[in-house]
Chains A and B, each alone.
Chain A
Amino acid sequence: MERVRFYQIGSYAAGNRLLDGELQTVQSDTHRTNSLNSGHRACQGCGEALGARYALDAVMRATGNQMVAVNATGCLEVFSTPYPETAWQVPWLHSLFGNAPAVATGVAAALKAKGRTDVRVVGQGGDGGTVDIGLACLSGMFERNDDVLYICYDNGGYMNTGVQRSGATPHGAATTTTPAVGPQPGNDFGKGKNLPAIAMAHRIPYVATATVADLRDLEYKATRAMEFRGARYLHVLVPCPLGWRTASNETVKIARLATETGIFPVFEAEDGEVVAVSKIRKRRPVGDYLQPQGRFAHLFGATPREDVIAKIQAEADRNVRVFGLTDPEVPVHGVVS
């Protein structure tokens, strides 16, 4: 496999390389290999490319490279494998948009039948392939507790086909099928799927959320997930500069704002119960997260939609309350350590 290339020349700061070995990040390990090579065709600032590489590199390290990846159709598949090129350094299989969890189940079943318990399986896809068209297959995989880690890279829409709405598109966001026109511009309220909660309802061994703003946390969760056997689910928020209409150098910053406002709660759950949450140190109003994004521009025009912003703020408040995202508030649900 190709040895990784480091871009920060002459600096020891990147990836905590000054720390003890066990505290260093996966990305700071000079002996690691990239699961996803450079040279693929993702857009500049693509959160999914970043999230996928960090997550799979962590799985590679956790398994000693003994892993197979199964991919749903979507940006990640299209930008990484324009035949005859491939950016994948791991055995990788793409079948369809809606069947990645079931295909991953098949790989896991084959490995089990062959007695290869050392080789682990990761399924992955965007929010379209995961929360919408692939949901039945994912739920089946959860219900059977198949030995698969499924990672959803959530960018809140069908970005590969030109930014249409998905079941994970946030309320108020404009997409090409939920345009910013009419009295209720953007995506309707009262719709939307909370897939981490759906995953937890299956009582699978491990469910976690993460963002590309805290890559150390993402690495930790991908690694932690591999300590379990059975069905595991990792939901990663990955901003999309194209669909969110943000600057390509703002991906990480926007993801951080999603957590700091309480829009995207970051937590871990085991066997259906929350066991840890990432606390917000200094909470910010949702406007700070919404305003830099073109998909919410209609809320901040000549006639600002304070009513819509207030509803989004209420959703963030609910997350803070339910997950206990700020001290000293006590969570309403779940066991929080």
Chain B
Amino acid sequence: MLKQIEGSRGVAEAVALSRPEVICAYPISPQTHIVEALSTLVKSGELAPCEFVNVESEFAAMSVAIGASAAGARAYTATASQGLLYMAEPLFNASGLGLPIVMTVANRAIGAPINIWNDHSDSMSQRDSGWIQLYAETNQEALDLHIQAFRIAEELSLPVMVCMDGFVLTHAVERVDVPAQEQVDAFLPPYEPRQVLDPEDPISIGAMVGPDAFTEVRYLAHDKQMQALDLIPAVAADFAAAFGRDSGGLVRPYRCDDAETVVVALGSVLGTIKDTVDELRDEGMSIGVLGLTSFRPFPLDAVRTALAGAQRVVVLERALAVGIGGIVAANVRMALSGISLHGYTVIAGLGGRAITKASLTRLFHEAVADKLEPLTFLDLDRDLVERELRRTRTTRRSGPAAENLLRDLGTRVG
């Protein structure tokens, strides 16, 4: 059914259609609208049987999900930013215990300085948590990925994180197709846990493992993620067959086949990049886009195949690995080992800075001319940074001096 609704509402409806039995959440911007909608659906009795647990922290939210999932219930939660970091410990635990929890991450920057706007610092920081990470490009894809996420999680017995850009997607009102309950029921069978806490057949979950087997256990966790490289496209194909909509998968190439330059990116910025690429194609530039839907597991082969014919790759990402540069770029580089091409890392849109078509056009022209620095910060105000660097040579202080930067900006405008 076509609806003109907020992204958060669409995700809440997709989650509700997936029939979770336990939802636990702690509110944090920009995730709040999702759990508000779900709490209303549960409290009104529209979503039943389901328990909505209001917890005291994200640490508790993930812990409740762990308990619920181990007891055989389909469990869901949602978070963002600081909240995701606060649940880092149970996050690793959920994947280590092989519990198929599904979680939305409404992507947001991490402080300090505190910033509520969108980038991918939060989910990227948890890239090694053992969770599958899928990134939505549009609200329709966010909705569709949630339904697929439950299938993937439960077939593998591994938790799945569906990442969607905070505000840009969560708070945007768009037209989405919300499937019917019967369609989702046919696609998503009830959760059958591989092992469950059952008084009739007692088992111990979460035992201690020493050096004699820990490496092997971790290898198996890696192997399970590698299995997801086959499962994710298979579930996407099933989804396309059942819902008549192409959504999900590992990577989504756009005008890549003959492209000399390929831009790699994830999330909602892909829309802006595709529009820019279309315009540059009209100008005769040989450029394409490779969208990553699955970041964990990282689809090395698919990325390698998509980039094999290119002369240069520009990885545009919305998180910064401080002290080295790009997170996604490092992964892409791994996929390209042995292939010789120019690689550029572009850090863009941190803390909600707009990524405009004008900036992208400039950027891609520089890249195609091979005039780009290996590591570029899109739209970085160099004057501002250099004034502050000069100031720090005379004034002893820690911290980012954000108020100085803002004051300098103010004087410039004034």
Q: Take A106-B63, A110-B21, A114-B73 as given contacts and tell me if A96 and B89 are in contact as well, using a CB distance cutoff of 8 Å.
A: yes
Looking at the complex, which of B194-202, B242-250, B283-291 is the stretch in contact with chain A?
Answer: B194-202
Looking at the complex, which of A74-82, A266-274, A328-336 is the stretch in contact with chain B?
Answer: A74-82
Judged by a CB distance under 8 angstroms, whether A310 is at the interface is no
Q: Take A68-B197, A90-B199, A114-B49 as given contacts and tell me if A109 and B205 are in contact as well, using a CB distance cutoff of 8 Å.
A: no
Q: Mark A273-309, 1 if CB is under 8 A from B, else 0.
A: 0000000000000000000000000000000000000
> How far apart are the CA atoms of A93 and B96 in the complex, in Å?
13
Q: Take A90-B199, A91-B203 as given contacts and tell me if A106 and B64 are in contact as well, using a CB distance cutoff of 8 Å.
A: yes
Give min CB distance, A288 to chain B, whole Å: 38
Which bracket fits the contact residues of B? 35 or more
Q: Take A82-B207, A99-B59 as given contacts and tell me if A91 and B199 are in contact as well, using a CB distance cutoff of 8 Å.
A: yes
Q: Are A103 and B67 in contact (CB under 8 A)?
A: yes
Q: Take A95-B97, A110-B72 as given contacts and tell me if A102 and B199 are in contact as well, using a CB distance cutoff of 8 Å.
A: no
Q: Are A77 and B208 in contact (CB under 8 A)?
A: yes
> How far apart are the CA atoms of A107 and B64 in the complex, in Å?
7
Judged by a CB distance under 8 angstroms, whether A67 is at the interface is yes
Chain B neighbourhood of A81, CB < 8 A: 204, 206-208
Within 8 A of B (CB), among A94-145: 94-96, 98-99, 102-115, 119, 136-137, 139-140, 143-144
User: Which residue of chain B has its CB nearest to the CB of A106?
Assistant: B67
Chain B neighbourhood of A85, CB < 8 A: 207
User: Which residue of chain A has its CB nearest to the CB of B89?
Assistant: A96
Q: Among the listed A88, A89, A111, A137, which residue makes an inter-chain contact with B71, where contact means beta carbons less than 8 Å apart?
A: A111
> How far apart are the CA atoms of A78 and B89 in the complex, in Å?
18
Q: Take A93-B205, A110-B21 as given contacts and tell me if A68 and B71 are in contact as well, using a CB distance cutoff of 8 Å.
A: yes
Chain A neighbourhood of B155, CB < 8 A: none
> How far apart are the CA atoms of A105 and B71 in the complex, in Å?
11
Give min CB distance, A237 to chain B, whole Å: 26
Q: Mark B170-207, 1 if CB is under 8 A from A, else 0.
A: 00000000000000000000000000011101111111
Looking at the complex, which of B27-35, B50-58, B134-142, B353-361 is the stretch in contact with chain A?
Answer: B50-58
Q: Mark B62-93, 1 if CB is under 8 A from A, else 0.
A: 01111111111101000000000000011001
Q: Are A103 and B63 in contact (CB under 8 A)?
A: yes
Q: Are B63 and A109 in contact (CB under 8 A)?
A: no
Q: Among the listed A66, A94, A103, A119, which residue makes an inter-chain contact with B207, where contact means beta carbons less than 8 Å apart?
A: A94
Q: Are B63 and A91 in contact (CB under 8 A)?
A: no
> How far apart are the CA atoms of A240 and B210 in the complex, in Å?
25
Q: Are B24 and A106 in contact (CB under 8 A)?
A: yes
Q: Among the listed B57, B59, B205, which residue makes an inter-chain contact with A94, where contact means beta carbons less than 8 Å apart?
A: B205
Q: Are A110 and B59 in contact (CB under 8 A)?
A: no
Q: Take A95-B90, A106-B66 as given contacts and tell me if A119 and B57 are in contact as well, using a CB distance cutoff of 8 Å.
A: no
Q: Are B73 and A99 in contact (CB under 8 A)?
A: no
Chain B neighbourhood of A139, CB < 8 A: 56
> How far apart are the CA atoms of A81 and B210 in the complex, in Å?
11
Q: Are A144 and B69 in contact (CB under 8 A)?
A: no
Judged by a CB distance under 8 angstroms, whether B114 is at the interface is no
Q: Among the listed B69, B72, B205, which residue makes an inter-chain contact with A114, where contact means beta carbons less than 8 Å apart?
A: B72
Q: Are A83 and B207 in contact (CB under 8 A)?
A: yes
Chain B neighbourhood of A107, CB < 8 A: 67-68, 70-71, 197
Give min CB distance, A85 to chain B, whole Å: 8
Chain B neighbourhood of A102, CB < 8 A: 55, 59-60, 63-64, 67
Judged by a CB distance under 8 angstroms, whether B213 is at the interface is yes
Give min CB distance, A271 to chain B, whole Å: 22
Judged by a CB distance under 8 angstroms, whether A92 is at the interface is yes
Judged by a CB distance under 8 angstroms, whether A65 is at the interface is yes
Judged by a CB distance under 8 angstroms, whether B22 is at the interface is yes
Judged by a CB distance under 8 angstroms, whether A39 is at the interface is no
Judged by a CB distance under 8 angstroms, whether A84 is at the interface is yes
> How far apart are the CA atoms of A113 and B75 in the complex, in Å?
11
Judged by a CB distance under 8 angstroms, whether B241 is at the interface is no
Which bracket fits the contact residues of A? 35 or more
Judged by a CB distance under 8 angstroms, whether B324 is at the interface is no
Q: Take A106-B63, A113-B51 as given contacts and tell me if A78 and B70 are in contact as well, using a CB distance cutoff of 8 Å.
A: no
Judged by a CB distance under 8 angstroms, whether A86 is at the interface is yes
> How far apart are the CA atoms of A118 and B203 in the complex, in Å?
19
Q: Take A98-B59, A99-B90, A114-B21 as given contacts and tell me if A106 and B204 are in contact as well, using a CB distance cutoff of 8 Å.
A: no
User: Which residue of chain A has its CB nearest to the CB of B214?
Assistant: A83
User: Which residue of chain B has its CB nearest to the CB of A80?
Assistant: B204
> How far apart are the CA atoms of A237 and B209 in the complex, in Å?
29
Chain B neighbourhood of A143, CB < 8 A: 56
Q: Are A109 and B202 in contact (CB under 8 A)?
A: no
Q: Take A96-B89, A114-B21 as given contacts and tell me if A106 and B75 are in contact as well, using a CB distance cutoff of 8 Å.
A: yes
Q: Are A96 and B63 in contact (CB under 8 A)?
A: yes
Chain A neighbourhood of B63, CB < 8 A: 95-96, 99, 102-103, 105-106, 137
Most B C-beta atoms less than 10 A away, residue of A65, A106, A109, A137? A106
Give min CB distance, A283 to chain B, whole Å: 40
Q: Take A96-B89, A114-B49, A137-B63 as given contacts and tell me if A106 and B71 are in contact as well, using a CB distance cutoff of 8 Å.
A: yes
Chain A neighbourhood of B201, CB < 8 A: 91
Q: Take A81-B207, A94-B205, A96-B89 as given contacts and tell me if A119 and B60 are in contact as well, using a CB distance cutoff of 8 Å.
A: no
Judged by a CB distance under 8 angstroms, whether A70 is at the interface is yes
Q: Take A102-B67, A104-B67, A105-B67 as given contacts and tell me if A137 and B60 are in contact as well, using a CB distance cutoff of 8 Å.
A: yes
Give min CB distance, A82 to chain B, whole Å: 5
> How far apart are the CA atoms of A251 and B54 in the complex, in Å?
41
Q: Are B60 and A140 in contact (CB under 8 A)?
A: yes
Q: Take A94-B206, A95-B206, A103-B63 as given contacts and tell me if A110 and B93 are in contact as well, using a CB distance cutoff of 8 Å.
A: no
Most A C-beta atoms less than 10 A away, residue of B22, B59, B72, B97? B22
Give min CB distance, B213 to chain A, whole Å: 7
> How far apart are the CA atoms of A94 and B56 in the complex, in Å?
20
25 A–B contact pairs at CB < 8 A?
A: A68-B197, A83-B207, A83-B209, A85-B207, A88-B204, A91-B198, A92-B197, A93-B197, A93-B204, A94-B204, A94-B206, A99-B59, A99-B60, A99-B63, A102-B63, A103-B70, A106-B66, A106-B71, A109-B51, A110-B22, A110-B75, A136-B60, A139-B56, A143-B56, A144-B54
A-B pairs, top 8 by smallest CB distance, nearest first, are: A106-B67, A94-B206, A110-B73, A102-B63, A140-B56, A99-B63, A110-B71, A103-B67
Binding site for B on A (CB under 8 A): 1, 65-68, 70-71, 77-78, 81-86, 88-96, 98-99, 102-115, 119, 136-137, 139-140, 143-144, 146
Beyond A65-B199, A110-B21, A110-B67, 18 additional pairs, beta carbon < 8 A: A77-B206, A81-B204, A89-B202, A93-B204, A93-B205, A95-B63, A96-B90, A98-B59, A99-B63, A99-B90, A105-B67, A106-B65, A106-B70, A109-B67, A113-B21, A114-B49, A119-B199, A136-B60
